[in-house]
Structure 1
Amino acid sequence: MVIRRLSSRALICAAVVLGAPSHAGNQKEEAIADSVRIALFNAIKDARPPRPQFANIDDRIKYLRWLGEMSERLKKKLPDWQVRREFLETAWYESKRAGLDPALVLGLIQVESAFRKYAVSPVGAHGYMQVMPFWTRVVGDGDRRKLFHMQTNLRYGCAILRMYIDMEAGNLYLALGRYNGSRGQPQYPNAVLDAWKRWEFNI
């Protein structure tokens, strides 16, 4: 495809002009062990709302500071305060639930969809985390429309990334490449790792 020959700068410019993600998700459907599939299914099916629990008041204060800071940073992308708050609460919850740094997840979302809930890539990936619809058949109920539901999309995306990190024995570079369907190529992992830095939060 011609678009693959474009530079990263050109792709980003095209994304701004056309409203398309700069790096569209394209996870590859591959054989996974039954134990992995069952674990992923169990991770997806828990439909409890994102209500964070804190061991002590200090942890809750840190979370509220994070929420306030990230809300300010995200204001231009998600101008509606209620939408922005619900998105950040869910992103934090699903990140922590999957054992991921919320800053990494926000960086991935920035690269994948530019924080657009209804983004659809040229290869059919859906939503904030650009989840490929085949996952709804592999570990869900087959309803790809649910990938436009915020919590469902973030839960799938975080669970899939966690699975890839585990499959790659903790190698985040390779796991990110696998998430994007470009394992071994530097552009996508480098873009996410760079975006990750922009969402780090230091108290």
Structure 2
Amino acid sequence: MSLTRRSILVPALGALAGPLLPRLAHAGAQVEEPLADAVRTALTSAVAHGAPPVPVFGDIEARLKYLRWLGAMSHKLKARKADWDERREFLQTVWYESRRAGLDTGLVLGLIQVESAFRKFAVSPVGARGYMQVMPFWTRVIGNGDASSLFHMQTNLRFGCVILRHYLDREAGDLYFALGRYNGSRGRPAYPNAVFRAAKHWEWADPERVPGA
């Protein structure tokens, strides 16, 4: 999927750090803004916990396509996550959460690269946490108030994808401004351009796809 300033994406449906010390990230700061009750309720529902299912596909070709994607992304991610099981679980969850939120998976991987360099326990100077550098106030606004949960992989990816979807809807599909809002730098080009560049590395074209199909 080619990403441009005005990309319109598909509409969405409706652990603690342990022994590892958090590592600083150099992310911006999402700004806490008033939310209408209906929006707050929708976002709260959207982040409600639910383990991602093992992918289930309607036909063998869809499953094989996913496995080809997983293999290609795993190869690219290997230098950052050496353990295969960790890589597989991470990529499966990114795939699930991005699709659940109606986001391009390559874009989400690019955002994670820029925000945290794929570091689960990254912490920014302003307190944003985890892979997608989610600000702790979001757990109070639409979660259970436990900011430490943002170091849990699926929780962090769920919050990050739901928040980006929210900003994209607020910006009427303008990905450039949605990314700026996500970073707390709306209107300034450095951050969205960095995400667009990173996302190109995670673009994937199925080598088995029949032209014109």
TM over 0.5: yes
Name the SS of the counterpart of 2:122 in structure 1. coil
In structure 1, what is the equivalent of residue 130 of structure 2? 127
Residues 107 and 199, structure 1, Cα contact 8 Å, conserved in 2: yes
In structure 2, what is the equivalent of residue 33 of structure 1? 36
In structure 1, what is the equivalent of residue 147 of structure 2? 144
Q: Shift of the alpha carbon at 1:51?
A: 2.7
In structure 2, what is the equivalent of residue 183 of structure 1? 186
Q: Shift of the alpha carbon at 1:93?
A: 0.4
Length-normalised TM-score, structure 2: 0.84
Match for residue 98 of structure 1 among 93, 98, 101: 101
In structure 2, what is the equivalent of residue 160 of structure 1? 163
In structure 2, what is the equivalent of residue 58 of structure 1? 61
Percentage identity across aligned positions? 67
Residues 50 and 94, structure 1, Cα contact 8 Å, conserved in 2: no
**Kindly tell me: are residues 200 and 179 of structure 1, through their superposed partners in 2, closer, same or farther at Cα, counting changes over 3 Å?**
same
- Equivalenced residues, count: 184
Aligned-partner Cα distance in 2 for 1:116–1:50: 23
Residues 126 and 148, structure 1, Cα contact 8 Å, conserved in 2: yes
The CA deviation string for residues 138-168 of structure 1, in whole angstroms up to 9 with x for no partner, is 0011000100000000000000000000000
Length-normalised TM-score, structure 1: 0.88
Instruction: Determine if the alignment matches structure 1 residue 44 to structure 2 residue 47.
Output: yes
Aligned-partner Cα distance in 1 for 2:53–2:201: 24
Aligned-partner Cα distance in 2 for 1:149–1:143: 11
**CA RMSD between the two structures:** 1.1
Match for residue 73 of structure 1 among 72, 76, 87: 76
**Kindly tell me: are residues 95 and 72 of structure 1, through their superposed partners in 2, closer, same or farther at Cα, counting changes over 3 Å?**
same
Regions of 4+ moved over 3 Å:
none
| Higher percent of residues as helix | 1
Q: Shift of the alpha carbon at 1:89?
A: 0.4
Residues 114 and 198, structure 2, Cα contact 8 Å, conserved in 1: yes
Residues 28 and 185, structure 2, Cα contact 8 Å, conserved in 1: no
Q: Shift of the alpha carbon at 1:32?
A: 1.4
Name the SS of the counterpart of 1:45 in structure 2. coil
Aligned-partner Cα distance in 1 for 2:97–2:42: 16
Match for residue 24 of structure 1 among 27, 33, 55: 27
Q: Shift of the alpha carbon at 1:57?
A: 1.9
Unaligned runs of 5+ residues in structure 1 are 1-18
Aligned-partner Cα distance in 1 for 2:65–2:37: 38
Residues 104 and 196, structure 1, Cα contact 8 Å, conserved in 2: yes
Point out which structure has higher relative CO (alpha carbons under 8 A, 6+ apart): 2
Residues 176 and 188, structure 1, Cα contact 8 Å, conserved in 2: yes
The CA deviation string for residues 121-154 of structure 1, in whole angstroms up to 9 with x for no partner, is 0000000000000000000110001000000000
